[in-house]
């Protein structure tokens, strides 16, 4: 990065953006992307690097002052709650989190409770509107549920050449 910033043929002195993505199936699961601009040569460049959980990418704050928000050198919690444990932007972090925070009227304070998800995983066995059904009863049931009727446009029904379309 220092070469791109300081070399006379590059002069990428402006950091536009830093972004990151989490790919849990890869060996180096984190992809970090830097977007730089050379005002002198009217050129943009995208630099990608990869990291795992053990070896972090070195900070570029000494090279680009604009990186001090995206690339925080002091890893203190800024936007998360005190006592928060975890990494909310990782793909393996549950969307609902681990705890529920609410204000309790009786106690007159904020209460932290473990999150209880009784139906975390459900198996939905329903006919998809984009699949061909070979059972006329299922097509009729599908028509009742979705408001579709026989016609020339829409998703296919059981008979060749016959299609379903929305009811007028």
pLDDT for 85 equals 67
Residue-level pLDDT at 82: 65
Residue range(s) defining the domain that contains residue 153: 136-166
**Tokens (6 digits) for 103:** 């204000």
Residue pair 39/14 in contact by the 8 Å Cβ criterion: yes
Rg over alpha carbons for the chain, rounded to the nearest Å, is 27
Residue 130: what pLDDT? 55
**pLDDT bucket at 115, cuts 50 / 70 / 90:** confident
The Cα 160–Cα 168 span in angstroms is: 23
Q: Which of 68, 83, 105 is the last residue of a domain?
A: 68
List pLDDT tens digits, range 58-105: 889 999 988 888 777 666 666 666 666 667 667 766 666 667 788 989
Q: Residue 153: which pLDDT band, with cuts at 50, 70 and 90?
A: very low
> In the chain, how many domains are there?
2
Is 78 part of any domain? no
Q: Which residues pair with residue 31 across a beta bridge?
A: 21, 50
* Confidence at residue 164, expressed as pLDDT on a 0 to 100 scale: 45
* Residue after which a domain boundary falls, among 26, 47, 68: 68
Query: What does the block give as tokens for 23?
Result: 């790919």
The model's pTM: 0.55
Which of the listed residues 14, 49, 68 is the one where a domain comes to its end?
68
Chain center to CA of 43: 29
């Amino acid at each position: 990065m220092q070469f791109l910033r300081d070399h006379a043929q590059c002069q990428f002195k402006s950091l536009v953006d830093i972004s990151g993505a989490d790919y849990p199936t890869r060996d180096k699961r984190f992809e970090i992307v830097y977007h730089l601009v050379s005002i002198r040569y009217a050129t943009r460049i995208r630099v990608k690097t990869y990291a795992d959980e053990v070896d972090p990418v070195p900070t570029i704050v000494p090279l680009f002052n604009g990186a001090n928000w995206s690339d925080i050198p002091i890893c203190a919690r800024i936007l998360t709650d005190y006592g928060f444990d975890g990494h909310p932007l990782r793909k393996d972090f549950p969307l609902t989190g681990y705890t529920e925070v609410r204000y309790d009227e009786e106690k007159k304070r904020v209460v932290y409770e473990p999150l209880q998800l009784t139906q975390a995983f459900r198996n939905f066995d329903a006919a998809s509107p984009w699949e061909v059904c070979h059972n006329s009863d299922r097509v009729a049931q599908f028509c009742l549920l979705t408001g579709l009727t026989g016609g020339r446009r829409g998703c296919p029904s059981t008979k060749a050449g016959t299609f379903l379309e929305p009811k007028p």
